[in-house]
Amino acid sequence: MSLRVVVAYRYIFATAFIAPLAFILERKTRPKMSWTVLFQAFLCGLFGYVT
């Protein structure tokens, strides 16, 4: 098996395990989603992280 496949499986399994835990444990501390937050997330995804 290719090293890239092993790394991909590693990330997939880690995400599948950690994401539900994060949603359950931190569901009350997340901020409400507003249009401003969505727009900022869209811009960050469009232009990438700029320092």
Q: pLDDT tens-digit profile of 6-49?
A: 999 999 999 999 999 988 888 887 777 899 988 988 998 888 87
Quickly tell me which residue has 């835990």 as its tokens. Answer: 21
Contact 37/31 with Cβ under 8 angstroms?
Answer: yes
- Please say if the pLDDT value at position 51 is more than 70: no
| Total domains, the chain | 1
The count of C-alpha atoms lying within 13 angstroms of the C-alpha of 22, restricted to the half-sphere facing its C-beta, is 7
Range 10-46 burial, b when 16+ CB lie within 10 A, else e = eeeeeeeeeeeeeeeeeeeeeeeeeeeeeeeeeeeee
* 15 vs 50 pLDDT, higher one: 15
* 25 vs 5 pLDDT, higher one: 5
- Alpha carbon distance 17, 23 (integer Å): 11
